[in-house]
A and B are shown apart, each in its own frame.
Chain A
């Protein structure tokens, strides 16, 4: 067994274990942490495949940004577990059907007959000066430049749409005018009043 193979099995084990732990975890925050661990394991396996750009992007985008927002939201939510459990029996038949369909589809696409060394040859090792990012960039900005740009524009539209949804009701929104705050003078905020205190009568 080579060192690469040991690493592969270690990372695969953590990948599967953390994915299972994520599904079975009852605590939402712990589930997110297990998801992060599975992302890391997936990234490590990609690095073993010499796809380091994909691996780093997975960590940068999903672990560094998306999962932070997940944790952020989970902290703000007040999840009531009893109402979740009450609906469990009602959703169970539908959930089982969906799960069965997903399992069937995944076995068709990801089954053992689709993979393995006799179907897909082992990827050839590249030399030390092989640059994964250069190869990807050449493909993205020459052959696939239009789909790439289209995807970027799609994301931009999604961002604008999300902001517009939040920014309805112009009138009811509370706003701060920074220029007003900066140019404020002491006399606008504090009024000094001189009060002549009445003299106490001597006893």
Chain B
């Protein structure tokens, strides 16, 4: 194995003599990225299955149960179907931008995962400004939807794209302000440091001092990912399918993957920011801490994330769709004043050293 590796390194140096970077480093980064993206795609696939099952049971139906045992192969059948379907191009559409749009949607949705810490020391990249990176790369995803609407050269996609652009820009401000309070308490924009700052017990997590911010963050996350009750971008009853109207087959599937990857990302972010990341909820509790010490941190992170992912489905099955202008009002007139006010509250709490958080 080592001999094979050595000969590979020699080959690379022979082919590219100007290259002095360590091939091993680049390969390790590649392997890390694959080890992250493959399970992510699998989770996305089975998240769609979970969504149909959960909403099915909430509506007293069974949900998909035909493909494979208990319908377990349904997402794979869906993927095969979407891959083999024809991709239709609208006659007057701008083909390049039409195909660029789904790429622009999925690329940031996956690139963001590079800085997410899953456990102490388990991440692809430990960026000093990882929170800003998440916000910056996350804000690029909107181009996918805007371009999809514009390049389709069709009226409903354009309307959907207009809604999406204004909604996403508005709610990015809210999310930014809500996360500023987290940064103020943790004193760092590094996601690792933010999780480490919540070490101690369940009372040290930031959901207590930042309770309103947590609610606002989660609701804004619903808007950012176009989820019900804020899914006006593809509001079927008003604009058919919004930006997705003209997309078929794999191009549509890519949008779908991006949306679900973003949903899971927002759930993980909520856990990292407000629910102690990979820390066990039994920390600091006598006996319980020792009894659950064997559970690795990543299990706790995934368990907490699963709860928030379930919350997405629960909310979708519960609430009717918001009206577009009401969503805008919620952002600018309700959430934004609250977040700005809470920044001052947190500043006061920091100065007066209230609670175990500072």
A interface with B by C-beta (< 8 Å): 1-3, 6, 29-30, 33, 36, 52-53, 56-57, 59-60, 63-65, 68-69, 71-72, 75-76, 131-133, 176, 178
Instruction: Assess whether B84 is interfacial by the CB under 8 Å rule.
Output: no
For A30, the chain B residues whose CB sits under 8 A away are 97
- Interface 1/0s, chain B 128-162, versus A by CB < 8 A? 11001101110110110011011000000010011
With A3-B19, A3-B21, A75-B162 as known contacts, state yes or no: A53 contacts B146, CB within 8 Å.
Answer: no
Our pick among A3, A52, A59 for the contact of B127 (Cβ within 8 Å) is A52
Our pick among B21, B132, B165, B325 for the contact of A57 (Cβ within 8 Å) is B132
Contact yes or no, B165 A72, CB < 8 A: yes
Our pick among B20, B129, B140, B165 for the contact of A71 (Cβ within 8 Å) is B165
Contact yes or no, A72 B162, CB < 8 A: yes
Bound CA span A1–B137, Å: 30
Contact yes or no, A133 B143, CB < 8 A: no
Contact yes or no, B132 A60, CB < 8 A: yes
> Known contacts A29-B150, A53-B129, A57-B136; can you find 12 more A-B pairs with CB under 8 A?
A30-B97, A53-B132, A56-B133, A63-B140, A64-B172, A68-B143, A68-B165, A71-B143, A131-B128, A133-B128, A133-B129, A133-B189
Bound CA span A176–B166, Å: 19
For A53, the chain B residues whose CB sits under 8 A away are 129, 132
Contact yes or no, B169 A2, CB < 8 A: no
Number of interface residues of B (CB under 8 A): 33
Contact yes or no, A1 B132, CB < 8 A: no
With A3-B21, A52-B128, A75-B150 as known contacts, state yes or no: A68 contacts B142, CB within 8 Å.
Answer: yes
With A68-B165, A75-B161 as known contacts, state yes or no: A52 contacts B135, CB within 8 Å.
Answer: no
Instruction: Assess whether B7 is interfacial by the CB under 8 Å rule.
Output: no
Interface of A is mostly: helix
Bound CA span A6–B147, Å: 31
Bound CA span A132–B133, Å: 14
What would 8 A/B residue contacts be, using CB atoms closer than 8 Å?
A: A3-B20, A29-B97, A64-B172, A65-B139, A68-B142, A71-B165, A72-B162, A178-B329
Instruction: Assess whether B319 is interfacial by the CB under 8 Å rule.
Output: no
Tell me the total A-B contact number using a CB cutoff of 8 A.
Answer: 80
Our pick among A57, A69, A75 for the contact of B169 (Cβ within 8 Å) is A69
Interface of B is mostly: helix
Task: With both chains docked as a complex, state the minimum distance between the C-beta of A21 and any C-beta of chain B, in angstroms.
Answer: 13
For B162, the chain A residues whose CB sits under 8 A away are 72, 75-76
Task: With both chains docked as a complex, state the minimum distance between the C-beta of A184 and any C-beta of chain B, in angstroms.
Answer: 14
Bound CA span A63–B19, Å: 32
Instruction: Assess whether B223 is interfacial by the CB under 8 Å rule.
Output: no
Instruction: Assess whether B5 is interfacial by the CB under 8 Å rule.
Output: no
Instruction: Assess whether B326 is interfacial by the CB under 8 Å rule.
Output: yes
Task: With both chains docked as a complex, state the minimum distance between the C-beta of A38 and any C-beta of chain B, in angstroms.
Answer: 15
Bound CA span A132–B162, Å: 37
For A2, the chain B residues whose CB sits under 8 A away are 20-21
Contact yes or no, A75 B139, CB < 8 A: no
Bound CA span A132–B142, Å: 28
For B133, the chain A residues whose CB sits under 8 A away are 56
With A3-B21, A71-B146 as known contacts, state yes or no: A64 contacts B140, CB within 8 Å.
Answer: yes
Task: With both chains docked as a complex, state the minimum distance between the C-beta of B31 and any C-beta of chain A, in angstroms.
Answer: 18
Contact yes or no, B161 A56, CB < 8 A: no
Our pick among A52, A69, A72 for the contact of B129 (Cβ within 8 Å) is A52
Contact yes or no, A59 B136, CB < 8 A: yes
Contact yes or no, A72 B146, CB < 8 A: yes
Contact yes or no, B140 A176, CB < 8 A: no
Our pick among A29, A72, A131, A132 for the contact of B166 (Cβ within 8 Å) is A72
Our pick among B18, B21, B129 for the contact of A56 (Cβ within 8 Å) is B129
